Amino acid sequence: MTSITLVQGDITLQSVDAIVNAANSTLLGGGGVDGAIHRRGGPAILAECKELRAGQYRRGLPVGEAVATTAGDLDARWVIHTVGPVHSYDEDRSEFLVSCYRESLRVADDLGATTIAFPAISTGVYGWPMDDGARRAVDTVRSADTALTEIRFVLFDPRAYRAFDKALNG
């Protein structure tokens, strides 16, 4: 049985097995939640990201895919980096957003994680409308086939929390 929970707060302060990072393709850090994770997690995360860039992900992590590193100083075992799509009104990129949640859960299951925390992927700098992002996030994790016991959404501000609450609880 998987419970889906909502918390308003900072994802870098969560105690879970896996913290999901809304990264960018370079895997070398950025602003928003990405910057916060690297700041609080310390240099070990970036060092492993650089190794990934030198190896399997020479051309960067593709949009919609997910990969794990150590969680450094965070109270977690892993950070799962995933690259959300930039929102566009000209093109439907929602399958990539759905893929971020699905692939992150798959990586977490492969690692043997039981608890995971997600931010609201793509809803910051990447411009995804919050209500739509929340609905797709909740629908995707709800229908996922996973052994995780808790899937926690960590929403930074009240507006994001309200959108996820509406998507989850109607």
Residues of this chain that interact with ligand ADP (CB under 6 A) are 10-12, 22, 32-34, 36, 84, 119-126, 154, 156, 160
| Smallest distance from ligand ADP to CB 24, Å | 7
| Smallest distance from ligand ADP to CB 1, Å | 26
By beta-carbon proximity to ligand ADP, the closer residue of 112 and 115 is 115
By beta-carbon proximity to ligand ADP, the closer residue of 11 and 107 is 11
By beta-carbon proximity to ligand ADP, the closer residue of 22 and 107 is 22
By beta-carbon proximity to ligand ADP, the closer residue of 75 and 112 is 75
Can you tell me the distance from the alpha carbon of 55 to that of 127, in angstroms, rounded to the nearest whole number?
30
| Smallest distance from ligand ADP to CB 36, Å | 4
Active site residue 34: yes
| Smallest distance from ligand ADP to CB 145, Å | 25
> What amino acid positions are annotated as catalytic residues?
34
